Amino acid sequence: MFTTETDAAAQLAADAEALRSTGHDLIDRMADYLAGIESRPVSTPLSPAELERRFDEPLPREGRPAGEVWDEVWRDVVGNAIHFAHPMYMGHQIAPPLPHAVLADTLASLLNQSLAVWEMSPTGTLVEERVVCWLADALGFPASAAGTLVSGGSVANLTGLLAAREARFPGCWTDGVARTPDAERAVLLVSEHSHYSVERTAGLMGLGSHSVVGVGERDGKMCPTELERAIDELRGEGRIPFAVSATAGATAMGLFDPLDQIADVCQRAGVWMHVDGAHGASFVMSDTLRHLVHGIERADSVAWDPHKMLWMPMSTGAVLVRDGRHLEAAFRQKAPYLFHTRPGEDRCRDAGRMTLQCTRRFDALKLWVALRHYGTGHFAGLLERTTATARSLQDKLAAASDFEPMHAVESNILCFRHLPESVRGWTDDEVDAFQAELRARLNASGRGWITTTVLNERRVLRVTLMNPRTGDEHLDRLMEALREIGRELAGT
Ligand SMILES: *Cc1c(COP(=O)(O)O)cnc(C)c1O
């Protein structure tokens, strides 16, 4: 493409100018998007088939002017996106990200440091080390802790439990499960409400998903007495419970397992304690909410998603291991073409030693910028605000005769049902179908966006309140919209 040095220099100047001119325009549009978010429907009005037609285009041979392409991005992509920043979005656990984190993420793309090894990202490695250190400190972990950022909670769970497997059955990594003494008797104990990714890790680790055993629960939380009983029973059968995965902020209801009591059981039994805190580990940031995760400081490993309750753009996941040596052992491997200890240094600084990823984005930058700019106090405020909004919704639902909250709210997730007069006397299946249809029509209307799940075999509505701008007024609008749709459905 370049025939002369002048061409190359001109191209560089043009690239910089493209960033400048399109960048200014893009940032203006992004700011307007955010400021005007409430004037949009929460989600696309188009059907999947209509949307598909918008994007049905052959591989472009000829380029087109940037302005045209960007205009179409705004029309087709942004115009039909799900707007997580909209205060009526109350669906999945996705954050409306903090603006400085969004900007830092853009800069991370420009710098494109790869966190695989020090020599591709010296500052990236140090920034990530610092962020991991802050997260470990916030958990109350000792100085022996180590960790890494990963793509999210699923990979964090896998990484933490891989460290657990190698700690209990050394040799699995090199010799394989079948040839490692006792490994075939391994059992992973989990909360009934654990995220599906936890069970998946057992399959991925070659232990088989049948090695996962659910522990009995009380009020939607892992019961420590049942845990102790399960460990004794399994041992009596000659099986080896090697790890317990407790949940801090379970996906369905946002409830916290009693971590401190679970830590007592794990300590007595000598079993690795993993905490899936993808949603809830962030609660350590708030003095008034920290009691929910009391005992997390005693865990052997923790999965923590800053892209949920620390309001980072995805992907930003983290795994922290109490004794860092176990994390290193989990991926014991030599790759002399990649990992180095430089002369005169006593340790290898390459972050890739501790994760299954090689090339890895500089995700630490946004978290580093955000923590330094906002400080933990700001995050505590966001956590307290969204949790208070969920409590407020619970109070409103409980006070209304046509709504029923399904559980006491602990975090910012709440499951409930709408039960107007007109559905009294309907069968359970009919009431289930009614809830599902309420949700489908609300989401299609663009007025709001919620999810559903199944609790005790009944279909329920579910909200996750991730947006600090969602307030009482929006909760009232949600209830009103559901009532209106309910009347349409019941034909009253
Ligand atoms: C969201 C979630 C996960 C999965 O995390 P990803 O970041 O989506 O990979 C795991 N566990 C719990 C409890 C979660 O809420």
Is 363 near ligand 1, meaning CB less than 6 Å away?
no
| Residue-range definition of the domain harbouring residue 147 | 113-361
Note whether 364 and 149 are within 8 A (CB): yes
Q: What's the CA-to-centroid distance between 258 and ligand 1, angstroms?
A: 19
Is 254 near ligand 1, meaning CB less than 6 Å away?
no
pLDDT of residue 448: 98
Q: Do residues 50 and 185 both lie within one domain?
A: no
Residue 270: φ, ψ to 5°: 65, 45
Q: Does residue 243 fall inside a structural domain?
A: yes
Which of 305, 410, 453 most suits a substitution to test ligand 1, by most atoms within 8 Å of the C-beta? Answer: 305
Residues 333, 337, 343, 349: is their CA dihedral positive or negative?
negative
Q: Does residue 105 fall inside a structural domain?
A: no
Burial class (CB in 10 A: 0-12, 13-18, 19+), 103: middle
Rounded to an integer, what distance in angstroms lies between the CA atom of residue 148 and that of residue 33?
Answer: 33
Nearest atom in ligand 1 to the alpha carbon of residue 93 is 1
Which of 94, 157, 197, 355 most suits a substitution to test ligand 1, by most atoms within 8 Å of the C-beta? Answer: 197
CATH number of the domain bearing residue 147: 3.40.640.10
Give the N- to C-terminal CA distance of the chain in Å, as an integer.
69
Q: Do residues 386 and 292 both lie within one domain?
A: no
Q: Do residues 11 and 119 both lie within one domain?
A: no
Q: Does residue 101 fall inside a structural domain?
A: no
Is 247 near ligand 1, meaning CB less than 6 Å away?
yes
Q: Do residues 256 and 399 both lie within one domain?
A: no
Task: Tell me the HSE value of 60 on the side-chain side, using a 13 A CA sphere.
Answer: 6
Q: Do residues 235 and 323 both lie within one domain?
A: yes
Q: What's the CA-to-centroid distance between 198 and ligand 1, angstroms?
A: 9
CATH number of the domain bearing residue 479: 3.90.1150.170
pLDDT of residue 465: 98
- Boundary (domain end) residue, out of 90, 105, 133: 90
Q: What's the CA-to-centroid distance between 145 and ligand 1, angstroms?
A: 22
Is 195 near ligand 1, meaning CB less than 6 Å away?
yes
Q: Do residues 389 and 437 both lie within one domain?
A: yes
* Residues contacting residue 90 through CB under 8 Å, at least 6 positions apart: 448, 449, 450, 463, 464, 465, 467, 470, 474, 478
Is 305 near ligand 1, meaning CB less than 6 Å away?
yes
The segments of the chain whose pLDDT lies below 70 read 1-2, 333-338
Nearest to 116 by CA among 280, 268, 338: 338
Q: Does residue 97 fall inside a structural domain?
A: no
Q: What's the CA-to-centroid distance between 93 and ligand 1, angstroms?
A: 9
- Boundary (domain end) residue, out of 361, 389, 422: 361
Q: 3-state DSSP call for residue 255?
A: coil
Read off the tokens for 39.
């004037």
Helices (H), 301-427: 306-309, 324-330, 364-399
Is 159 near ligand 1, meaning CB less than 6 Å away?
no
Q: Does residue 367 fall inside a structural domain?
A: no
Q: What's the CA-to-centroid distance between 274 and ligand 1, angstroms?
A: 14
Note whether 378 and 356 are within 8 A (CB): no
Nearest to 413 by CA among 247, 273, 260: 247
Rounded to an integer, what distance in angstroms lies between the CA atom of residue 138 and that of residue 276?
Answer: 16
Q: Do residues 276 and 407 both lie within one domain?
A: no
Q: Do residues 355 and 379 both lie within one domain?
A: no
**Which amino acid, 228?**
E
Query: Which residue(s) pair with 132 in the sheet?
Result: none
Note whether 305 and 279 are within 8 A (CB): yes
**Which amino acid, 353?**
R
Is 317 near ligand 1, meaning CB less than 6 Å away?
yes
Q: What's the CA-to-centroid distance between 260 and ligand 1, angstroms?
A: 22
Nearest CA to ligand 1 atom 7: 152
pTM of the model: 0.96
* Residues contacting residue 173 through CB under 8 Å, at least 6 positions apart: 166, 329, 330, 331, 332
Q: Do residues 84 and 120 both lie within one domain?
A: no
Q: Does residue 52 fall inside a structural domain?
A: yes
Nearest atom in ligand 1 to the alpha carbon of residue 247 is 13
CA distances from 112 to 356, 361, 412 (A): 19, 7, 35
Is 306 near ligand 1, meaning CB less than 6 Å away?
no
- Tens digits of per-residue pLDDT, 308-364? 999 999 999 999 999 999 998 888 766 666 677 777 777 788 888 888 888 999 999
User: Strand locations in 174-283, DSSP E?
Assistant: 186-191, 212-215, 217-218, 221-222, 240-247, 272-277
pLDDT of residue 331: 85
Q: Do residues 328 and 381 both lie within one domain?
A: no
Q: 3-state DSSP call for residue 303?
A: strand
Give the chain's domain count.
3
Is 309 near ligand 1, meaning CB less than 6 Å away?
no
Helix (H) or strand (E) holding 440: helix 428-445
Rounded to an integer, what distance in angstroms lies between the CA atom of residue 181 and that of residue 302?
Answer: 27
pLDDT of residue 200: 92
- Boundary (domain end) residue, out of 335, 361, 387: 361
Q: Do residues 326 and 474 both lie within one domain?
A: no
pLDDT of residue 6: 79
Q: Does residue 282 fall inside a structural domain?
A: yes
Across the chain, which distance is largest between two alpha carbons, in Å?
82
Q: Does residue 129 fall inside a structural domain?
A: yes
Question: Would you mind telling me the total number of residues written for the chain in this entry?
Answer: 492
Nearest atom in ligand 1 to the alpha carbon of residue 251 is 15
Q: Do residues 328 and 399 both lie within one domain?
A: no
Burial class (CB in 10 A: 0-12, 13-18, 19+), 59: exposed
pLDDT of residue 209: 86
